[in-house]
């Protein structure tokens, strides 16, 4: 269970991090009447929440799991699982947001490249944070 906890937290962190990227576009699309200073505050608050989930919750849970891990626990496999779950979660959410925003005017290649690249970037970030937490906790 200790090695599954970072994977579960990574799914939530990926969702928060992905929504943070599209907050302004979603506010504009849904025509929410928000003033410019409020929009800036929402953007900064969403970045802070994403930071807390990635570097607070995920790093903390990974440190906890590494601190209580057996000698035979493979940190690279746990990090790969976090990468896979983070990438898949980010891909689903990014796809849903792009579908909601209606990006019919973009060509298919640029949309797929953006979807895959942004999702893989989120997965790599979460995998590296998890590996660092596991390694720090095991020492």
Residues in Cβ contact with 78 at an 8 Å cutoff, skipping those fewer than 6 apart: 3, 6, 7, 62, 65, 130, 131, 134
Res 41: pLDDT: 86
pLDDT digits (tens, 9 = 90+) for 89-137: 999 998 888 888 777 667 778 888 888 999 999 999 999 999 999 989 8
pTM for the model: 0.86
Are the C-beta atoms of 132 and 59 separated by less than 8 Å? yes
- Higher-pLDDT residue of 23, 9: 9
Distance (Å, whole) CA 42 – CA 47 = 9
pLDDT digits (tens, 9 = 90+) for 44-91: 898 999 999 999 999 999 999 888 777 666 888 899 999 999 999 999
User: Left, alpha or beta for 73 (phi > 0: left; psi -120 to 50: alpha)?
Assistant: beta
């Amino acid at each position: 269970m200790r090695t599954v906890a970072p994977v579960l937290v990574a799914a939530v962190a990926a969702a928060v991090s992905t929504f943070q990227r599209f907050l302004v576009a979603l506010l504009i699309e849904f025509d929410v009447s928000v003033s410019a200073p409020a929009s800036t505050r929402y953007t900064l608050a969403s970045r802070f929440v994403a930071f807390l989930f990635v570097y607070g919750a995920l790093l903390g849970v990974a440190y906890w799991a590494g601190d209580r891990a057996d000698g035979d626990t493979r940190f690279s496999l746990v990090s790969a699982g976090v990468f896979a779950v983070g990438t898949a979660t980010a891909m689903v959410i990014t796809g849903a947001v792009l579908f909601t925003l209606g990006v019919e005017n973009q060509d298919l290649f640029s949309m797929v490249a953006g979807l895959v690249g942004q999702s893989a970037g989120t997965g790599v970030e979460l995998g590296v944070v998890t590996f660092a937490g596991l390694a720090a906790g095991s020492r």
